[in-house]
Structure 1
Amino acid sequence: MITGKRIKKAMQITRDYKADLETHKEVIREQESQIAEKDEYILKANMEYTYYAESLIKEIAKQKKQIATLTGQLEAMEYTTIQGGIIGMQKERIAALTALINDNERAEKVASPDIQTDSWNRTYLQGRREAISDYLAMLKAEMEGGK
Structure 2
Amino acid sequence: MFRRSQLDSPQAIRRSAMDLLARREHSYAEMLRKLKQRGATSEQAEIELDRLQDDGLLSDERFCEAYVHARSQRGYGPQRLREELRQRGVAASLIEQVLGDACWDWPARAQETFNKRFPEGKASDPKDRAKQLRFMLYRGFGSEF
Give the shorter-chain TM-score range: under 0.3
Larger Rg over CA atoms:
1
Q: Give the structure with the larger helix fraction.
A: 1
What is the TM-score normalised by the length of structure 2?
A: 0.27
What is the TM-score normalised by the length of structure 1?
A: 0.27
Q: Of the two structures, which has the highest relative contact order with CA contacts closer than 8 Å and spacing of 6 or more?
A: 1
